[in-house]
Structure formats: C-alpha cells, structure tokens
Amino acid sequence: MGCAGEPIMLGLDEFEAIRLIDLEGLQQEQAAQQMGVARTTVQAMYNTARRKLALALVEGKTLRIEGGDVAICEKRAHCARGGCCGHHTCAKQKPEG
C-alpha cells in the first residue's frame, strides 16, 4: 500500500509536546515548563501535532519527524523516567557554542 502525496511533517517541538502530554501524562502547564515555553505555545503545538497525526493515520500518509528549534537533553538516558527529569536544559533552548 503506497502513500500518496507529500509526507506529513511533524516538527520536533510538536513531537515533544505529544510525548510529554500523551506518553508521559503531563499536564500542558508541566509540559510547557519542561520545554521552556508558555502553556499556550504547548497547547498550539499539541493541537497541530494531533491534527497531523490524525491526517497521517486516516489518509495513510508518511509521517516525518524533523526540524524545529530544539536541543535534546544530554542527560536524558540517565533520567529515572527515561525522559528529561527537568534538571537539565531541554527542548526550545539551543545548546551553547
């Protein structure tokens, strides 16, 4: 079964919003704190991401996750929850250098 048309592009910031809210079970305010953005920004990213996921599922399109103004927590693998524990610099903050 082939995928018609262009792939659906999901930004890393949208991916992180979905991960924190749906997988980790955080409230939007908690996700916003972890990502270093306003709750309204997380809400907008989350809503856009959900629409993109639904479109990819319903229309059978390829979903590509890439891009965005994010930095991955270097200590992530060592956090007890498997995600960022909030003690390290995470999404939306570019690394120094």
pLDDT, tens only, 38-71: 999 999 999 999 999 999 999 999 999 988 665 6
| Residue 11 near residue 66, CB atoms below 8 Å | yes
pLDDT of residue 68: 63
- In which band, very low, low, confident or very high, does the pLDDT at 5 lie, cut at 50, 70 and 90? confident
How far is CA 45 from each of CA 37, 70, 91, rounded to the nearest angstrom?
A: 11, 13, 13
Mean pLDDT, rounded, for 28-41: 94
Residue 3 has pLDDT above 80, yes or no: no
pLDDT of residue 78: 54
Mean pLDDT, rounded, for 72-85: 55
